[in-house]
Structure 1
């Protein structure tokens, strides 16, 4: 069983970050939205509260740090496609997509959202 539930993500400028997430999260399978005045919620398949989701809220005092959230990709081609989407949507690709010496098949892209939060998309076989 996948124990992933959700991520509550802070951004310091929602207006700047939201267009990025409106492109990235549906491409990662978070295709349903449940927005409120304070939260923008992007959910995957399944019924809430069991469905995985990413919830984004604005905190003007938030400062990005070394925390990193990783997402799986089904193939190297998907990593490449999502890396292009990140760049087109206003994110910053920090490294990759390429093989990393974590394992012989660890193919990933590391990137930041417009507010500096760090992410990774990875495909690996072992």
Structure 2
């Protein structure tokens, strides 16, 4: 039996009410599971693409998740955007290049609960693996 994990999510961004409390909580939790924190300032992020920053002022309670999925190509980014809008999502940034790094091509939609959902293609790249394969002993 094999389990394939990873690479569904490109990154997750949590917007939190109390950044200091969240830093304490996530530092402790991530240390236990062996995930290093790489940067800590006005926000912090980990090796596994978890970003945590303060919630926007006036943001509704519980609506601060930014979830990004990976796409194999730019056409998938366009299909995601069209399908999400047709299914009740609200445009939050149509398909296009972003300045995060060369080749970053993404679209953003707010889901029915106000969470920011993204699909991103990073441009031509070589992955070290399609997924992490876990084989129980």
TM-score (norm 2): 0.45
Q: Which has the larger radius of gyration?
A: 2
TM-score (norm 1): 0.49
